[in-house]
Amino acid sequence: MMFGWTAVVPKLEDTSKFKVTKDDVSWLVSLPFILIPIFALLTGALAEHMGPRRLLTIAMFPVAGFWLMQAFAPYLWILYLGRALIGIGAAVVLTIVNPLLAELYPGRFRGLAGTFPKIVGCAGMLLSYLLAYCLSWDLATAVSAAPFLPLPFMLLLVPESPYWLVRKRRVDEAEKSLKLLFRRDADVAEELKAIRNTTTPEQCEVKNQVRELLKKQNAIPLVLLSLLFLLREFGGRGPVLNYTVYMFRKAGVQLDAFFCAVLVGVARLASTCISACMLDLVGRKTFLLAAALMCAVSEGVAGIFLFLEVEKATWAPLASVIVFVIGYGLGLGSIPGVYVGELLPTPVRSLGSAIIIFICYLAHFAVNLVFLKMTSFLGLGLTLLVFGGANLAIVPFVLLCIPETKGRTLQDTERAFVLREAQEGQDNSAFEMDAMPSKAKEH
């Protein structure tokens, strides 16, 4: 909902409560995205000290209050403060959730589990669009606090990461956590043994994680995932999702811009649900390639229509944005996050996730901040063509560098970059070895 709240920003410009300039609009949209990378690094260290599930729960308790702070802000600076505090809470969620889900769920369900936060996020964004369409900006902001009231209490029911518990030498608690995840009478001895074989107490120390990060087999997946996230950001996902209303108004779409934003939210939620259901059947790589190509083509088509100023083609931007969000929902939005939990090795998973979020949202902040200036200088059409080029570059990058992880255990993926053969365009040979996953219990 933090991302979808930007749909109400155009209504802020019409408020008599305080004066909002174009620069204020850019900063209100972009402010959380400069705080997310800063606090993501701190979150990685705190998660190792406190436990990821516990930190996530604590961080969620005050979030509803931050929304109400924005809704009833008497001054503009308080609105900025509330937006910043929500951004800090988002940093905790984005850094912790995907690695935690990867450590809680077995391989055969990890694709669905990894995309579930995106489904919830898409539902939250759609709700934000509906609130922006139906209500004033302050009332829409106040209502946005409601989902966060029960959330921290629900998180208390989630078990702690068994990987973190083993690193803390709390093996008995790790066994209880595994039994909660499967069933109370389940034999989790093999599962626990597999975790202990890849986990050591020394991994709790940040300095030891930094040392592990310098090893080739740990550094390679971090670099590859960082590049994947950067290409996604330079593909314009931030402006398309955060400046939806502005883009429709600038493109001259005849329908109500807020109504079009709701259509975009519906398309994204539906495509994300399809991705969640199919990801463990089809595989991550296929969906990611198809999604990147869809996003590139949709931005390219819209960019050409707008750049050439084709008459009576105001439908093209709306259709292209809907195709973009469908592609984004099918894979470009959720699969990179799934890969963070699956490809980052256990010794560097917390620190690596924090670094990737830092890089990703630093780029996200920069692209959002300069978007309005880019459209003023280049025009919306040429800007979309630049974004389309970045998404197109994802296709050969994924084909050559990113392996398929469907159905593989975390122990398999840790060995992936150790056993990698120097053959371009082929998946890692570690994933073709029948002896590894077939007899091991998945996790």
Q: What is the pLDDT of residues 222-264, one digit of tens each?
A: 999 999 999 999 998 888 877 776 777 766 666 676 677 778 7
Start-to-end CA span in the chain (Å)? 31
CA-to-CA separations, 293 to 61, 328, 394, 402, in angstroms, rounded:
40, 10, 8, 16
The residue ranges of every structural domain in the chain are: 4-158+205-432
User: Stretch 201-228: mean pLDDT, rounded?
Assistant: 83
Q: Between 131 and 387, name the one with better pLDDT.
A: 387
Tell me the torsion sign for CA atoms 167, 169, 175, 180.
negative
251 vs 247: CA distance, rounded Å: 6
Residue-wise pLDDT for 297-349, tens only, equals 999 988 888 888 777 666 777 788 888 989 888 888 888 988 888 888 888 88
Residue-wise pLDDT for 67-78, tens only, equals 999 999 988 899
Instruction: Give the pLDDT confidence score for residue 436 in this predicted structure.
Output: 36
Q: Looking at domain 4-158+205-432, does it have CATH number 3.75.10.10? A: no
**Residue 438 scores a pLDDT above 70:** no
Instruction: Give the pLDDT confidence score for residue 395 in this predicted structure.
Output: 94
- Measured at the CA of 339, the angle between CA 338 and CA 345, to 5 degrees, comes to 120
CA-to-CA separations, 108 to 162, 289, 306, 333, 437, in angstroms, rounded:
18, 21, 44, 20, 11
pLDDT level of residue 15 (50, 70, 90 thresholds): low
- Give 328's DSSP letter: I
User: Stretch 275-283: mean pLDDT, rounded?
Assistant: 81
Scored b (16 or more CB within 10 A) or e, 304-334 reads: bbbbeeeeeebebbbebbbbbbbbbbbbbbb
**Residue 419 scores a pLDDT above 60:** no
Q: What is the dihedral of CA 230, 333, 298, 129, to 10 degrees?
A: -120
Q: Among the listed ranges 17-21, 220-224, 275-279, 426-430, which one has the minimum average pLDDT value?
A: 426-430
For every residue of 189-206, DSSP letters joined together read HHHHHHHHHH--GGGGSH
54 vs 9: CA distance, rounded Å: 33
**Residue 186 scores a pLDDT above 70:** no
The region, left, alpha or beta by phi > 0 then psi within -120 to 50, assigned to residue 175 is alpha
* 139 contact partners, CB below 8 Å, separation of at least 6: 71, 131
